Structure formats: C-alpha cells, structure tokens
Amino acid sequence: MGEQQSPSSDKRKKTPKPETRLAMVRRARRINRELAEVYPYAHPELDFENAFQLLIATVLSAQTTDLRVNQTTPALFAKYPTPEDLAAAQPEEVEELIRPTGFFRAKTKSIMGLSAAIRDNFGGEVPGRLEDLVTLPGVGRKTAFVVLGNAFGVPGITVDTHFMRLARRWKWTDQDDPVKIEAEIATIFPKSEWTMLSHRVIFHGRRVCHSRRPACGACPITHLCPAYGEGETDPEKARKLLKYEMGGRPGQRLKPPPDYPGEPAPAMGPIE
C-alpha cells in the first residue's frame, strides 16, 4: 500500500487559479498609480504650441521617432504656421522639409490634405470632436485622441504600439485590434485617467519595457507584472538597457516641460 499524501502536499501540486477580472482591475489600477509616482512628469513627447502643430506632428510621427519629428517641425511650422499656409504650399517644398521623417510623399499628401479640410470645413480651426477629427485625411482614432487629450483636455486612450504591447503583457487584454483594446481598457480605468494613463504606459514602454529586451531587472513594477522574466532580470545588465532620461540621456523633446528631469534633445544630429 503506497504512502498517503498529506492535504498540504496536494495543495502544493494544484495549479494557481486564474486571475479574476476584479483582481486584474485592481492590479491594473495599482500599476497606473505606481507609474504615476515613477513618471510624475509624463507628457506628450512631441513639441507643439497649438492644436494644429500637435496634429501635424502626430501624423508625421508614424514610422519614426518623436525626436526626429521634433527636429523636423520647427522649419515646417516657421514656413507654414497655419492650415491655410500649409494647404496652399508647393508639395515638393513640403516633401523636402519633412523628408527626415520618412514616407515623406504620403505624409505630405496627408498633412496638406488635412490642412485643406480644416480650412474648408472647419473655418481654419482644428476641430475638438472625435467624429470631426477622424474625417481629416491621415487622421485615425489614435491621432485624434492624442490631439483631444493634449490640446483640448478631452480624455482619451492612445493605443500606439507601446500601449498595445504593455496592455497585453500586463494581461489587461488579449485583443490585437487597437479599437477593441481601447474599448476594453476604457472599462478598467475611470475616464478622468485615460489621457495620463496613456502617457505613463507609453513612457514606460519607451524607457523600460521594450519590445525585444525589456529591462525587467530595472523595472519598478515587477511585483505587479505577470510577464516578469521575459527580459533581462540582472539589475546591472538591465540598467544598461534603460533609455532616455532614466539612462542618463536626453528625451525626445527639444522643448520639454519645465518639470522634465532630463536634458532637452538635440536640435540636430542622428537618432540613437
């Protein structure tokens, strides 16, 4: 007759119960609170002085870095400060100015097209409603929420590649579609948190929780992360993976907010 197992040994062999939705929501909100302490200065990383500049910069930021956009837009905005100016520009001249951002022909078509639409349909003013913004050429929900949240103070969730990656890593969602992710995340957090949540998650994704080699060993929220261990766990090696001000380097903005802890980015020069 074999040895009987004690109840405690049976318990040890049981697989952990799946996380309930309530537990996930509590964990997600705690991540947001702790990221707020890590990044009290979280902000949009595109330089802008008004809604039009932010809209143009956001469109230009596709498939490139915010730093490259910030290095490019001063000359663009100096020459074409208003939608009317940009709509009436020579495409070849605009292409040359925005060439460093990549895909410059398609982006020129978009920013000139949206400028013309703002001029013709909205009296030369960037509209402050989602349903209007998404009618503009080259403007989808992600771009619209960036503009609404940061130029108009309208709460929105910006689901870019960083936000999507971290939301899935943290088991907030298993969706792949940005619109579905946005809808799911909106049920987890109060509306008043949506814009700042977006900044904090994107900040963390750019600085610590990278796509290929997350700096797990230097991450301040490992105790809340179900994906801990996917990246470098050695603290010294992980610290070397940190980017921007956390790694002792400038951020993306040439004109960062007053409370930004790092140095302004260089006006010219290659991106790391």
pLDDT at position 17 is 84
- Please say whether the dihedral angle defined by the alpha carbons of residues 18, 24, 27 and 32, taken in this order, is positive or negative: positive
Helix intervals (H) in 7-50: 7-13, 21-38
Closest-CA residue to 166 (of 217, 240, 221, 245): 221
pLDDT in tens, 74-90: 999 999 999 999 999 99
pTM for this entry: 0.90
pLDDT in tens, 208-244: 999 999 999 999 999 999 999 999 999 999 999 999 9
Euclidean distance between CA atoms 264 and 266, whole angstroms: 7
pLDDT at position 12 is 52
Residue 63 has pLDDT above 80, yes or no: yes
Percent of the chain residues past pLDDT 70, beyond the cut: 93
DSSP per-residue codes, 40-103: TT----S--SSHHHHHHHHHHTTTS-HHHHHHHHHHHHHH--SHHHHHTS-HHHHHHHHGGGS-
Cβ(84)–Cβ(39) under 8 Å? Answer: no
> Quick one: 205 exposed, middle or buried, by C-beta within 10 A (0-12, 13-18, 19+)?
buried
Q: Which residue has the tokens 């956001």?
A: 58
Catalogue the active-site residues: 142, 160
Dihedral angle of Cα 5, 10, 11, 17, to the nearest 10 degrees:
180
